[in-house]
Amino acid sequence: MIEKVLFTGRTHTSGGHDGITRSSDGFLDIRLPEPHPAAEQLFGAAWSACYIGAIGVAAAERKIALPADLAVDAQIELARNGGGFFLRARLDVSLPGIDRAVARELADAAHGICPYSKAVHGNIDVATNIL
């Protein structure tokens, strides 16, 4: 049951060799040449942005101040095996000045908060590294 919709993202994508994707608000306007590497890049950007927000929520719940230069590098791989195509992901989390064990706790907690992490849980292989 949904209490409240916080945001709805709308995009229109057309394919082919000169594919494009545009958001309804004009914020995104991206060419998608074949193959479409932008799909993995966009997914990585969206997930890592959400995940940073989730780390912030986890830190606030624990009353931990986060560094201004926290960062998440996402690597999304499109792979193939005999059964077809699949995704694999790696999130490299940088929390300078935060104890490594605390950083691991925040990173793990963020997966339970971030909607992207929830969506892929059990569906793709995800490695989360603390840098």
Predicted local confidence at residue 4, as pLDDT: 95
Q: Is 119 helix (H, G, I), strand (E, B) or coil?
A: helix
pLDDT number for residue 35: 63
Mean pLDDT for the stretch of residues 27-54? 87
Phi-psi region of 63 (alpha: psi -120 to 50; beta: other; left: phi over 0): left
Homologous superfamily of the 36-130 domain (CATH)? K homology (KH) domain (3.30.300.20)
How is the beta sheet containing 71-81 ordered, strand by strand?
A: 71-81, 84-94, 125-130
- At residue 27, the 3 state secondary structure works out as coil
Please state, rounded to an integer, the average pLDDT across all residues of the chain. 93
Residue type, 70: L
The arrangement of strands across the sheet holding 19-23 comes to 11-14, 19-23, 29-32
Identify the three-state secondary structure at position 72: strand
Residue 5 is predicted with a pLDDT of 93
pLDDT tens by residue, 42-96:
899 999 999 999 999 999 999 999 999 999 999 999 999 988 999 999 999 999 9
Tokens representing residue 112 in the block:
């339970």
Question: What confidence category does residue 36 fall into, taking pLDDT thresholds of 50, 70 and 90?
Answer: low
